[in-house]
Amino acid sequence: MSAAAVELEGVSFGYGGGPLVLRGVDLRVVEGEFVAIAGPNGGGKTTLIRLALGLERPVAGRALLFGEPAHAFSRRRTLGYLAQRSKLGTEAPATVREVVAAGRMATGRLLGRLRAGDRRMIDEAISRVGLEGRADSPLHTLSGGQQQRAFIAKALAAEPSLLVLDEPTAGVDAEAQETLAELLAHLHEELAATILYVSHEFGAVERYVQRLLLVNGAIVFDGKPSELPDIWHDPSHLHV
């Protein structure tokens, strides 16, 4: 059996002692899987990945990252997390290369000049997302879809063992969504990366992912996208 990247065992969670956002979640994502997580707004998708990454601690159950308690994971620099609405100020002067370099610095090289190996990884990350021709352009001059690719390159520069993207296509057009889905499929195949892709809809990545989770207070569906249609159209499966 493949090793688990993410494990949630009987996890429940509520913010500030309030009502539970998630209840009794069991989940196992093995290394190398490409998983989409979808569901309605407020259904708990972002909460689920924050628990998986150890950014929140469950009120019941346990969360593990690569076999360690998620909140105390010892190799946090190996996690690539593109949070919702990742962006800089609209007039920020940072170039694509500078944004991606910040991801490389997150591996521990916070002081001093980047070494040749670091610069090579930065260039490779920019190339992987198809922005080599815009590497020295200010980020704010790029389209929304290109900006998201720059932030993915920032995560890739750290050579992550797990890449998590929360609503990466929010606010971008359908063509950019398709381009991003194809990019992630290519990265998954080329790097054998473990990818969690979170969205309130899953159309752009449906044909690329190996597994789809629907979250609405709990995991209400977990399977191949091809198994979804009958369940998706039955409202009883969307209530917990």
Q: Mean pLDDT across the stretch 15-26?
A: 93
User: Residue 34: what residue type?
Assistant: F
DSSP alpha helix (H) spans, 109-228: 116-128, 144-157, 174-191
User: Residue 156: what residue type?
Assistant: L
What lies within 8 Å, CB to CB, of 46 at 6+ separation is: 84, 166, 167, 198
Reading the block at residue 200, the tokens are 């309130």
- Quickly tell me which residue has 């194809």 as its tokens: 182
Q: What is the pTM of this model?
A: 0.85
What lies within 8 Å, CB to CB, of 33 at 6+ separation is: 5, 194, 195, 210, 211
Q: pLDDT at residue 24 above 80? A: yes
Helices (H) and strands (E) in the chain, counts: 6, 10
More reliable by pLDDT, 18 or 13:
13
Q: What percent of the chain has pLDDT over 70?
A: 88
Tens of pLDDT, residue by residue over 96-128, are 999 999 888 765 544 557 788 888 999 999 998
Q: pLDDT at residue 94 above 70? A: yes
What lies within 8 Å, CB to CB, of 18 at 6+ separation is: none
Residue 235, pLDDT score:
40
Q: pLDDT at residue 84 above 80? A: no
Tens of pLDDT, residue by residue over 155-170, are 888 888 899 999 887 7
